A = this chain, B = another copy of it.
């Protein structure tokens, strides 16, 4: 492990970058904020300088231990492998699978469909109205949060974290997505287990300090 301070290339409102802020805070890894403005001037993520960090032109990208890692799930797994304490994953394989499944429900089924670039494609190239674009987001959030609520119920969970005990990877991804739910007027009320986790975790310092509004590049709501 390098002793150099990691640099997180992110954007205050990116829920994927938000995940990594929480993970680094939980692991007590001090890092430098490298804001990437996803909206100004057509998006800094599309510049050659940023593409050299992440050819996918997405945030986050984490410079750590002499390399760049992108994809938030890969970053979390890397942090877990190189900085095991406190753990973001449970000990037993079955529990780890459940934790990862919930995180991936967000990362693979909700977030990719509601990302900025997808909204841009819908409204720009497909001429979808603002209302229909929000309905699209709500549709995928309902499917995703509904599945997560059902998983928590099926596995007899209902506490302040998805898996019980200390917060981990499932909570990190869930809280990130909940920010987008709030932002786009999607109510979590039909998902009481999800809602309880989000409410409880948001109050923890590692989560609160990672919140979009608390970031140096945050802008007041338009």
Contact = CB atoms under 8 A, between A and B. Distances in A.
Secondary structure call for the A interface? helix
Contacts of A150: 51, 55
A69 B95 CA distance: 10
A178 to B, nearest CB: 18
A55 B151 contact: yes
A19 to B, nearest CB: 12
Interface residues on A, range: 35 or more
A100 interface: yes
Contacts of A143: 56-57
A73 interface: yes
Interface in A114-132: 118, 121-122, 126, 128, 132
A28 interface: no
26 contacts: A55-B146, A55-B151, A55-B154, A56-B105, A56-B143, A57-B143, A57-B147, A58-B109, A71-B105, A73-B100, A73-B108, A74-B101, A75-B97, A77-B96, A77-B97, A77-B100, A78-B97, A81-B96, A104-B107, A108-B112, A109-B112, A112-B113, A113-B113, A121-B136, A122-B126, A126-B126
**What 3 A-B pairs come out closest when comparing CB atoms?**
A55-B150, A56-B147, A74-B100
Interface of A: 51, 54-58, 65, 67, 69-71, 73-75, 77-78, 81-82, 93-94, 96-97, 100-101, 104-105, 107-109, 111-113, 118, 121-122, 126, 128, 132, 136, 139, 143-144, 146-147, 150-151, 154
